[in-house]
Amino acid sequence: MRFLRTTTLAAVGSVAMLVATHIGAFAALDPYAGSGYDFSYVQCGVSAPSAQFGIAGVNGGYPFTYYNGCLSAEYSAAPAGHASLYVNTGYDPSYTAIDGRHMEEDCAGASSQVNATPAQQAAWAVGCSEAERDVGYATSQGAVGPAAWWLDVETSNSWSTSDLSLNRYTIEGLVTRLRASTSAPIGIYSTSYQWGVITGGYQPAVDATWIATGQRTLKRARSYCTAASFTGAPVWLVQYVASYDHDWAC
């Protein structure tokens, strides 16, 4: 994972019902305790550290055409029953192409039911397609039944700077499609600053927040557990960097 390296949007048909039920009926159970780590394609071939949980990156730094070739090994190396997944996210007009690499036809069709402008509908379909391809790749690598799914939202990936609503609809499409695929909690990884730049402070229908603190020690990172959540969802994890990405359960 690269560190520095509002309104609820409309969803679709039965999936919207699923989201409403998930949000309204109960708060998601936090599956984390103690210390963990997150690995990605950058750590390919590196032995996993001893920890209580591990989070593996599905992508190779970007959504769609880049994937982590070591996902299977990294996911299986995490403590049994305590492995999670994170996915890189982004929006770019080129992602709207139905070309076998980007937007999926079913997501494009479903987006017509989203109460939004054509451009926002297309952005929703981009997010939906990112999630669909991520789930498909993870499944193909045996990375199934994760404790949680996390959306990595960082300024180092492509996002609209002229219309932040397109970024928000992309994230909503991701969340909606993941809700249809899994009962696991869904959260956002970012910083308060980057989240504001990308979304304008949007509060999506997610279960948790994972804060990239940029700190080098656990002592300093733990103070972020009581920081205001930029997504509005509870802070479950804080990340600090010391030779690799460490994570602490709040």
The amino acid present at 211, given as its one-letter code, is: I
pLDDT higher than 50, residue 129 = yes
Distance CA 250, CA 132 (A): 30
pLDDT higher than 50, residue 22 = no
pLDDT of 18: 37
Instruction: Give the CA dihedral 28, 33, 37, 38, nearest 10 degrees.
Output: 0
- pLDDT tens-digit readout, 68-85: 999 999 999 999 999 999
Q: How confident is the model at residue 188 (pLDDT cuts 50, 70, 90)?
A: very high
- pLDDT tens-digit readout, 203-246: 999 999 999 999 999 999 999 999 999 999 999 999 999 999 99
pLDDT of 1: 66
pLDDT of 26: 63
3-state secondary structure 17-81: HHHHHHHHHCCCCCCCCCEEEEECHHHCCCCCCCCCEEEEECECCCCCCCECCCHHHHHHHCCCC
Distance CA 11, CA 131 (A): 14
Distance CA 225, CA 85 (A): 21
Q: Which residues contact 227 (CB under 8 A, 6 or more apart)?
A: 192, 211, 235
Q: Which residues contact 154 (CB under 8 A, 6 or more apart)?
A: 2, 3, 4, 190, 194
pLDDT higher than 70, residue 51 = yes
Class of domain 13-249: alpha beta
What does pTM read for this prediction?
A: 0.91
- pLDDT tens-digit readout, 93-113: 999 999 999 999 999 999 999
pLDDT higher than 60, residue 3 = no
Q: Would you list the domain boundaries of the chain?
A: 13-249
Task: Determine contact, residues 79/52, Cβ cutoff 8 Å.
Answer: yes
